[in-house]
Amino acid sequence: MLPEFLLDPPSSTIFIFSLAAAISLLTSLANRLLTNPEKSKAWRKEISEWNTELRKAQRDGDKKRTEKLMKKQKQIMQLQSKMMWQSMKVMLLFIVPLLLMWQMLGGEYGARVIAFFPGLSDNSGVITIPLIGMQFSSLIWWYMLCSFFFGTTFSHLFGLISVE
């Protein structure tokens, strides 16, 4: 299905790099349009502060403060549920297309070399993780590396996550 020239490096490297960039851009845009990052940030802050206060009260043995904080637990759980739904909206939108894409890519690339990882991959493109001994196809690793890079970059650009 893919043209022959996209099946071997360096074309395959650039193709998967570009594909990861495009998918990360689309998911970040969908996140920005379907969720409210400011509200999510406020919810995360409230939950974090509650958890910090609760741990401190429990560590100090302050039963009165712990009981007072536990009365707010239902509200905190509702906030966590709202946050989970925010991320689920985007996941539900992209899960089927991504599974289909991975099915197609797996069939096209199989065990082919996508990119070489100096020091980690052998000439066949298989990556062996030192000490663990696990081996992975370079398609998976190259896509994950590119996806993490672009996902983080676009999340910062669209204000989905903040640096504090």
pTM of the model as a whole: 0.75
| 136/130 Cα distance (integer angstroms) | 12
Closest by CA to 88, choosing from 42, 41, 30, is 30
pLDDT (tens digit per residue) in 114-141:
877 666 666 666 666 666 655 555 788 8
Q: Could you give the 3-state DSSP secondary structure of residue 121?
A: strand
Tens-place pLDDT, residues 41-70: 899 899 999 999 999 999 999 999 999 999
